[in-house]
Chains A and B, each alone.
Chain A
Amino acid sequence: MAPWLAQALPPAVVLVSTLAALVIFVAGEAHQRLRIWVNLIAATIKLLLVVWIGLAVLAGNTFMFRFELLPGLELILHADALSILFASLSAVLWLVTTVYAIAYLERSPNRARFFGFFSLCVSATMGIAMAGNLMTLFIFYELLTLTTWPLVVHNGTPEALAAGRSYLRYTLTGGVVLLVAMAWLYGLAGNVEFTPGGFLAPLVAEHRIALSVIFAMLVAGFGIKAALIPLHGWLPKAMVAPAPVSALLHAVAVVKAGAFGIIRTVEDVYGLELVAELGMRIPLIAVAAWTIIIGSLLALREHELKRRLAYSTVSQVSYIVLGIAVGGLLATSGGMVHLVHQGLMKVTLFFCAGIYGLLLGVSRIDQLDGLGRRMPWVSTAFTIAALGMIGVPPVVGFVSKWYLASGALAADVPWVVGVLIASALLNAAYFLPLIRRLWLTEGGALAEMPIEIGALSRLALVASAVATAALTVVLGMLAAHPLSPLSWVLEIASGYAPW
């Protein structure tokens, strides 16, 4: 591959949606057709670029873009296998979510603003995926905060504004913690790039305590977006935003960015061996396990559909952290692949919840009665994704859990298997009643919401949900295929796994 291409492609992936955002902002509210086309074309181009880079990485090419931001401080965008994992997830889901959002917001005001920031969000997410050092990751992480806030408060209701305040309070505080940790780390180690296995081992003799504190700060800073309990408070509140935003927060970008940050910290900054040597591995496993269990318990308590899904995210995203912290080929793969699997399942669930809410005004769980017959396609998609969350084969959720559990046994932390079983039971406890209500309970006749929505939009909404649901099954069944997320992740993990 030409050297200039290897340099230009990573920034291009980031900038495609920035450009789309600019066009959307400048065109303004009136040009709906233009906006739709720009959205779809940009999303497609981005997906193609990511696929192109992914295949080239598979063929052994390297991608690297460097820019000196400050003396001794570089902005680095690169593409390693892990970048591609996250980037391809976001690119695929961005395309689907864009289709869904165009239909969902067909008649609502302020769409230019919405789609503009939506695109900027994806730019920031791609930057996070492609970041080649902590500084770059941090910059795009803060940009992500900045660009999601307008989406969270989009409706402009007092609840939305309150949710926005809460979101900022949490995430900006997280940003400050990260900033201090990074200033400290750069002071100790200088300008260092992500290196598989970490680059801090030479410093441990002299700076053991400092490195432990910095690690805790980095995990806390990223943990706010990853919604580790007790740092999760903003996520359920943010449910007041429109459904596509929930999809973005939960599946495409925000919580994933937090989890991805933790992955980079553990694998590419510290290295799991060093984390274990600092005595941080077991606490990290414990925090993840605690979040998994408590998140599920909190989900059980909720009677609003979207809030229950939010707590389910809190719980499920910690699977990723759990897998990384347990370590070893199997558990690391299980954790990383859940980044993709959870995204697909959760986006399906939110698509469905959004459709129920938009068309029938359903927001509480007891209103789900009998909807299976009324909306068979949507309800089937919902059911598949919910079963996947519980871990029923052949949906992708099973694959993650299988690898996590066998990885825990291999890494000699058998109690983690207990956590996984408890979590599966709790997942069943809060998802099965929904499925029962959908299919087995006779429902009252809910009136159609008094909004006009075109047949094409309706089709787009349902098709998005069905497509992602189908993907969860197909990827689950083809997990052994050489291009499946699982095979991809096994390749990544074999580079990381220290034992």
Chain B
Amino acid sequence: MNPAVLLVGLVFIPLVAALVAVILPVRFRRPVALLGALAWPLLLVPLSIAVARDQTLTLVFGGWTPPLGIGWRLDALGLVLLWVHALAGIAALPGAWHRFGPKVVAAAPFWPLWLILSTGVNAALLAADLFNLYVSLELTTLAAVALIATDDGIAALTAAMRYLLLGVLGSLMYVLGVGLVYAQTGSLAMDQADAAAIRDVALVLMLTGLMVKAAIFPLHVWLPHAYGNAPGPVAAIMSAVVGKVALVALWRIWFQTAADPPDLLADLLGLVGAVAIVYGALAAYMQPRLKMVIAWSSISQFGFLMLLLPLASQTAFQGAGFHLLAHGLAKAAMFLAAANIVTVLGSDSIRHLPGLDKRMPLEAFTLALGGVTLIGLPPSGGFTGKWMLLTAAWEQQGWFWLVLIALSGLMSAAYVFRILALTCFHPARRAVHELHARPPKITSLAALLLALLAVIIGLYPHPALELLGRGLPGGAS
């Protein structure tokens, strides 16, 4: 059997589970969704073996090959992100299970939406043509918007609304660019678009649209509120993959069309990333709420991923891809821990953090481990990514990038240690007003395991690096 057939399962298992869940009465939705969410990651095992052997898997529907037919393609980058999606998603399940029980009103829409989000993310990662990608990204955005709104609070609703408006704006720009490409080349397949022909307005439109969806500075405005107010499991899965799916698409389109050697546009986008790193870290340092700190940190860390465009080498891609992996795991873990803190304290204001290490040691430990990865201290996954990017910068004598990457760790350290100092060592270990019921221990352990994984991959990065070392995203070499 051709292993590419399994790609169908990645998209259709969550989709079918979502449909079944919608039909069933509310109290059955949760178990069905759980099954669906646990089933599709199983496919990753044979798929990983196949990708490790055959490089990329391609599936073409109905015998029509591109440019006419619709195709899916799974490459190394897609596989890495699918793993992040699977791991972060599974780790988020205990918290979601606990929070969206059958008696909760929001549980009725939550579980189908959760599966739809997975469908969209997986489809976007597999998309081999520009329009297919557009549809998948739309599905992802809409599901994410609705999931944010399942939090019962006016802030979440506002954040969801803002995300919706900006997301739609981004989609419009992207689809406009796709239209131009189609008009010029008559093809939508990513690897067949004529590079020279679309390297103009169309490219800028598509990139801008994707940058909105990936929350790349200065188009990040929706992100802090969306992540900061979404329910914990949603914030976790969004920070782990949803923004990154758009970024992966951006990389793929970029490297299909990129000039060699990197031109002014690449440097410009790299500079945008540099500003994002600094600005995001500064903002994270000043936030009054824990989840907002973690959310702003994402903006800073996404800036890193833009550095791939000017560096544009295999080593840089390994570094950026690995950063994607480590950051996704660490960030999801931190949001899950933060979610538990909100559940227990009823707030995540950092004024309430002092003394928390006594009452919630596992959460404090998760935040610390995740923080170590964010700073990029060895031996953690964050360090591996940073080291590869540093090496890439050195290879190209890109001194500016080298110093920037090295210094960025210090900026991350500022906001991470601020949180840790407050949590564990602050003199005013004030008694917190009221403690709510503690979520079951498995939610804490899931977050901790995810954070540990983010560190452990730094000790054994070989499989991921080997996969990422086989060519640039989008199949360009």
Contact = CB atoms under 8 A, between A and B. Distances in A.
A183 B387 contact: yes
Interface string A331-359: 00000000000000000000000000000
B379 A187 contact: no
Interface string A138-164: 110011001001100110111011001
A126 B402 CA distance: 30
A142 B377 contact: yes
Interface residues of B, number: 32
Interface residues of A, number: 34
B402 A183 contact: yes
Contacts of B421: 153, 161, 164-165
Contacts of B461: 69-70
A494 interface: no
Contact of B410 (A73, A160, A172): A172
B83 interface: no
Interface string A166-184: 0010001101100110011
Interface stretch (B11-19, B285-293, B388-396): B388-396
B425 A176 contact: no
A290 interface: no
Given A172-B410, A180-B403, A187-B395, A164 B425 contact: yes
Contacts of B417: 149, 165, 168
Interface string A35-77: 0000000000000000000000000000000001111010100
B372 interface: yes
A186 interface: yes
Interface string B416-429: 01000100111101
B390 A160 contact: no
A156 B425 contact: yes
A146 B372 contact: yes
Contacts of B377: 142-143, 146, 175
Interface in A295-323: none
Contacts of B379: 69, 75, 139, 143
Contact of A71 (B410, B424, B465): B465
A71 B318 CA distance: 11
A142 B425 contact: no
A186 B417 CA distance: 30
B378 interface: yes
* Interface-centre pick from B390, B459, B465 (highest chain A CB count, 10 A): B390
B103 interface: no
B150 interface: no
A187 B394 contact: yes
A234 B393 CA distance: 32
The listed residue with most B CB atoms (<10 A of its CB), out of A70, A139, A154, A172, is A70
Given A176-B409, A176-B410, A187-B394, A161 B465 contact: no
Contacts of A149: 417
B399 to A, nearest CB: 9
Interface of A: 68-71, 73, 75, 113, 138-139, 142-143, 146, 149-150, 153-154, 156-158, 160-161, 164-165, 168, 172-173, 175-176, 179-180, 183-184, 186-187
Interface of B: 357, 372, 377-379, 384, 387-388, 390-391, 393-395, 402-403, 406-407, 409-410, 413, 417, 421, 424-427, 429, 459, 461-462, 465, 469
7 contacts: A69-B461, A71-B462, A150-B424, A165-B417, A175-B409, A187-B391, A187-B394
